[in-house]
Structure 1
């Protein structure tokens, strides 16, 4: 719990910095100027933002540099240090308020809001998709507050307004979709408990709306989180159940996504499940091909041949088959959108590990540097974890000069 709080504090601090438009290096320079010393470096700011250290003595200067009340920063520090009465300012406690006792999707007995129609559903759908598109280029720490706000507003509308049964179903669908992207954002920000609560809320909404593929999308998202957070067996069971929930008539893009999640879940159980993982990868490609003319829901917009190839490569990397993984990742990365820094960092991290497995430590070291550089400005626990995984893998080659240089410059990240 203590480590989680410190990481959340770090993400909060990083969010304040980004809101002022400063890089870590620029913030360090401002703090040096304000304090009249030269003792703050970009590396030190990075440690604060990763939860490795708490900048107690720097709070007055941070308050000035980040245009934030010092009392608010001290409240955040108290939270990081485990004060049971302290809350992290901002969005941290928002889901607790969002999910009061009872069913948050139960309409209020006395509706006080105005009657809304299909245009309310359309407007909500636009905001949900805008949040998805923002997630393509921003990290969880940057998006968690607006995601929670949108989910709160959507539930408030559903509970308080008056509408037809069709509009009510449309609102439930959008709440389900919004809960999925909120859960994804929360997971990326390291808030896995909040993410699970959001996913479960979304499953409830999607079930009430009778939207099987959306139920499967939410359940598959939760399965993916379980597979990555120590519940690998539960991840396989839930990913398999999600695929069944979607049904054979679900659009091809969605079935491809659900097969990919099954593949990853099996992969996380290790080599004994390699055959099931590789089979699921093939089924994902078949589903995408067979459903090429299907009309997929908007939330599946990103599922493509390219993304399936990335999952192929990730699975082969985890199964220690670098001869399959390296060509796939190398090809995909030559065509990948450079604005999607988080995904680039993640995909290059698997390439670095695969190159190390292929006994190419010099190339692996070069990729590791790219991963560290891409991850530096991201408030994502996923990329931070992958940086550590890459550096840990390189320690086997610490007698190679290029690797030794990487570990000398960035080995401290293994301790964060």
Structure 2
């Protein structure tokens, strides 16, 4: 056997926080700053899937030097500054030195060997290395010899929703493999003779990345076509839990990641009209949260359960689930999370035709939102801004039959939405079209409906399609109104999700 060429690890030393970068973020939450990074990337033709966790890792000093895509974005955001001014180490000082512990070493079939600095825990964010969040962005194609094999194989030709769905294939998390003793060249089947590899930090990182990828693809393309693909990473996630790990911190990451992945897959089922599947996935996440005492995960699971119950016509269950989520979330310190949960409760009250209860919950939601963001805001809440607040309020007024107020809030939601969230723009515009149609403004409804049809080549969501079909039925008696017949004809010829 050839001797190892890996440099022995140096004693663990904690990474140095990047105070300069933290100062640049100012009063914005990590999620808000991540949104600014994504927007700046689009301005220069880059695509990075930056999120609150990535910003946190930079500020904690875990990423000593960003990859080239992020470097271009950061220098665009802060002209006249160098990477050193932004608190990063020179690229040459972190290239290819040092190593990680055995448990932290990625499986060779997940990603390429990492480039780490000589100090344990301080990572050079090279494509294919420990930090995968932007380098495997399916909307960004790199053309340098350092890109990861995973990126090259999976995402060089990504385009529409069909290819986005296919891109979940390489996300497949590593199933814990076993080495079998052999007799005469054939592996034996005895369980006692197997040696199962325990899950480590690299598997936990791959699991967390799978959650981010699913959310990113859903934001852009909707759930249809993604749901069945996402089931394989979820099965792998629970196989990792069964394999066990030697470190409690890694076990906690695996449980949290598996729960968040179950919620993400549940949302794909929810948005594609598979309510029973969604309910099962959310229950699985809730059970995982309860077993490990993970209050943040429990609040998230209850939050989605409330949303599903409302959409499935069980408004009283929606109220109860939202209230349970609020009880769990009070200790987490996030006003924005409490605001969203109050909106979930408002949706339940609206479904019960309880206008007073709905208005009280809406008032709480606005008051809590106005307290502003904080570092305690969960990473998964990056979608929750003024647009989502307006969109969810529009749904409440629509359920109460106040079409004028519903249309006003739906239109505001569509106008405010970050272009990154293509699916939500389509959703809010669909809500606007329906509210206008039911409120006796068929010509305006047809215009909004045409905007939705323009987005359906990018977004595949059974939920949106079902809403648009309802709008078309409402508009049928108004064929002679301006633009209505054109909308109906185009809607009738539009492709439907399988």
Q: What interval of TM-score do these two structures reach, taking the shorter chain for normalisation?
A: 0.5 to 0.7
Question: Which string of whole-angstrom CA distances, capped at 9 and with x for unpartnered residues, describes residues 355-377 of structure 1?
Answer: 23443221111112222332356
* Structure 2 equivalent of residue 311 of structure 1: 392
Question: Which string of whole-angstrom CA distances, capped at 9 and with x for unpartnered residues, describes residues 128-175 of structure 1?
Answer: 222212211122222223321111111111101332233222211111
CA distance in 1, matches of 2:348, 2:229: 30
Q: Write 1 or 2 for the structure with the bigger share of helix.
A: 1
What are the residue-to-residue correspondences of 1:128-277 with 2, within 5 Å?
128-269=211-352, 272-277=353-358
CA distance in 2, matches of 1:133, 1:22: 14
* Structure 2 equivalent of residue 354 of structure 1: 435
> How far apart are residue 411 of structure 1 and its match?
5.2
Answer whether contact 2:426 2:464 (CA < 8 A) is retained: yes
- Aligned to 1:247, the other structure's residue is in SS state helix
Change (3 A) 1:119 1:344: same
Answer whether contact 2:204 2:257 (CA < 8 A) is retained: yes
| Cα-Cα RMSD | 3.4
Tell me whether 1:126 sits opposite 2:237 in the alignment: no
Question: Which string of whole-angstrom CA distances, capped at 9 and with x for unpartnered residues, describes residues 10-41 of structure 1?
Answer: xxxxxxxxxx99999xxxxxxxxxxxxxxxxx
CA distance in 2, matches of 1:346, 1:152: 30
Answer whether contact 1:112 1:161 (CA < 8 A) is retained: no
Answer whether contact 2:259 2:297 (CA < 8 A) is retained: yes
CA distance in 2, matches of 1:111, 1:155: 19
TM-score (norm 1): 0.67
CA distance in 1, matches of 2:194, 2:310: 41
CA distance in 1, matches of 2:349, 2:477: 27
> How far apart are residue 238 of structure 1 and its match?
2.0
CA distance in 2, matches of 1:282, 1:347: 21
* Structure 2 equivalent of residue 345 of structure 1: 426
> How far apart are residue 217 of structure 1 and its match?
1.3
Change (3 A) 1:109 1:333: farther
CA distance in 1, matches of 2:416, 2:448: 16
CA distance in 2, matches of 1:146, 1:409: 30
CA distance in 2, matches of 1:119, 1:390: 47
Change (3 A) 1:332 1:368: same
Question: Which string of whole-angstrom CA distances, capped at 9 and with x for unpartnered residues, describes residues 51-91 of structure 1?
Answer: xxxxxxxxxxxxxxxxxxxxxxxxxxxxxxxxxxxxxxx99
* Structure 2 equivalent of residue 368 of structure 1: 449
> How far apart are residue 260 of structure 1 and its match?
1.4
Answer whether contact 1:285 1:305 (CA < 8 A) is retained: no
Larger radius of gyration: 2
Answer whether contact 2:256 2:294 (CA < 8 A) is retained: yes
Answer whether contact 2:199 2:243 (CA < 8 A) is retained: no
CA distance in 1, matches of 2:315, 2:298: 20
CA distance in 2, matches of 1:245, 1:281: 19
Answer whether contact 2:433 2:446 (CA < 8 A) is retained: yes
Change (3 A) 1:315 1:122: same
CA distance in 2, matches of 1:137, 1:394: 28
CA distance in 2, matches of 1:364, 1:119: 50
> How far apart are residue 396 of structure 1 and its match?
4.5
> How far apart are residue 294 of structure 1 and its match?
4.0
Aligned residues between the structures: 317
> How far apart are residue 386 of structure 1 and its match?
0.9
CA distance in 2, matches of 1:112, 1:298: 36
CA distance in 2, matches of 1:374, 1:109: 55
CA distance in 2, matches of 1:158, 1:310: 37
CA distance in 2, matches of 1:352, 1:315: 16
Answer whether contact 1:111 1:162 (CA < 8 A) is retained: no
Answer whether contact 2:322 2:341 (CA < 8 A) is retained: yes
Answer whether contact 1:188 1:382 (CA < 8 A) is retained: yes
Question: Which string of whole-angstrom CA distances, capped at 9 and with x for unpartnered residues, describes residues 101-154 of structure 1?
Answer: xxxxxxx99994334444443332223222212211122222223321111111
* Structure 1 equivalent of residue 360 of structure 2: 279
- Structure 1 unmatched runs, 5+: 1-19, 25-48, 50-89, 92-107
Answer whether contact 2:387 2:416 (CA < 8 A) is retained: no
- Structure 2 unmatched runs, 5+: 1-156, 163-167, 170-190
Q: 1:394 aligns with which of 475, 480, 492?
A: 475
Tell me whether 1:410 sits opposite 2:498 in the alignment: no
